[in-house]
Amino acid sequence: MSGIPEVIPLVELRSSCVTCSLRELCLPIGLAADELVQLDEVIRQRVPVKRGKALFLAGQSFHSLFAVRTGFFKTTILSEDGREQVTGFHMAGELLGLDALGGGKHACTAIALEDGEVCELPFTQLDSLSRQIPSLTRHFYKLMSREIVRDQGMLLLLGNMRAEERLAAFLVNLSQRFEARGFSAKGFHLRMTREEIGSYLGLKLETVSRAFSRFQADGLIKVHGKQITLLNITALKGLLGTCHVAQ
């Protein structure tokens, strides 16, 4: 053929690329065969992380971003009184390590809530490759922007909300994120504890438990251990008024 680079059809991509949490970086833009090889050489795929283990620690020097392939992670910081403050929960397809882009050191600690896998993106190499593949640069920053916007959106929503509104926003947010990944929007397993949810939402454990009980009594959700079924998503969204839950 002429000078047009060969584009690998979706069906011919190896399964690790098709199911990879980085698919938004490559599959939608149809990387050429040689570009896909370059990307594969940079990314360290399927790095296992055991439950309870830290992916990186606050204060640690920044070298790589991490895309969650499987599993669930929480990010935390230490408050002034030494308590752990949960700053976010991250699932498949989301990036970890963005907190270190500005200062060169991680501002938070990332801990696995269950056994999982991540893809490591050495930032220096990825930055160099992005300069060679402009479309990769655009999609890479689009993905980072989405992560930042979602975090900011949740902070804005939680600013002046009552306890039940905060929990409703949290559940709706999780529902939307699961649905975007092809999972059920109505039923999912909570990997985090009630205490961790409370830390993230700025609520005491007892308050979180009461809110869950109230939602169940009102027929909005069904709780069985850590399995949550949203029986009335419309009503949960109604608690938020005109506020939009960022995904």
Q: Where are the domains of the chain?
A: 10-152, 162-238
Span 118-147, mean pLDDT? 82
Q: What is the DSSP letter of 7?
A: B
Band of pLDDT at residue 39, cut at 50, 70 and 90 = confident
Q: Which fold has domain 10-152?
A: Jelly Rolls (2.60.120)
The model carries a pTM of: 0.84
Range scoring the smallest mean pLDDT among 28-37, 115-124, 144-153, 233-242? 28-37
pLDDT given for residue 147 in this prediction:
72
For the domain made up of 162-238, the CATH class stated in words is mainly alpha
pLDDT given for residue 53 in this prediction:
97
Question: Could you tell me the CA-to-CA distances from 46 to 21, 66, 70 in Å, in that order?
Answer: 10, 11, 9
Span 78-104, mean pLDDT? 88
Span 94-103, mean pLDDT? 87
Reported as a single tens digit per residue, the pLDDT across 182-230 is 889 999 999 999 999 999 999 999 999 999 999 999 999 999 999 999 9
In contact, 110 and 74? CB cutoff 8 Å = yes
Reported as a single tens digit per residue, the pLDDT across 104-117 is 999 999 999 999 99
Cβ count near 2 (within 10 Å): 3
pLDDT given for residue 4 in this prediction:
43
Question: Could you tell me the CA-to-CA distances from 201 to 17, 63, 160 in Å, in that order?
Answer: 35, 30, 11
Band of pLDDT at residue 94, cut at 50, 70 and 90 = confident
pLDDT given for residue 160 in this prediction:
77
Range scoring the smallest mean pLDDT among 31-40, 106-115, 207-216, 235-244? 31-40
Average pLDDT value for the chain:
83
Range scoring the smallest mean pLDDT among 38-42, 55-59, 216-220? 38-42
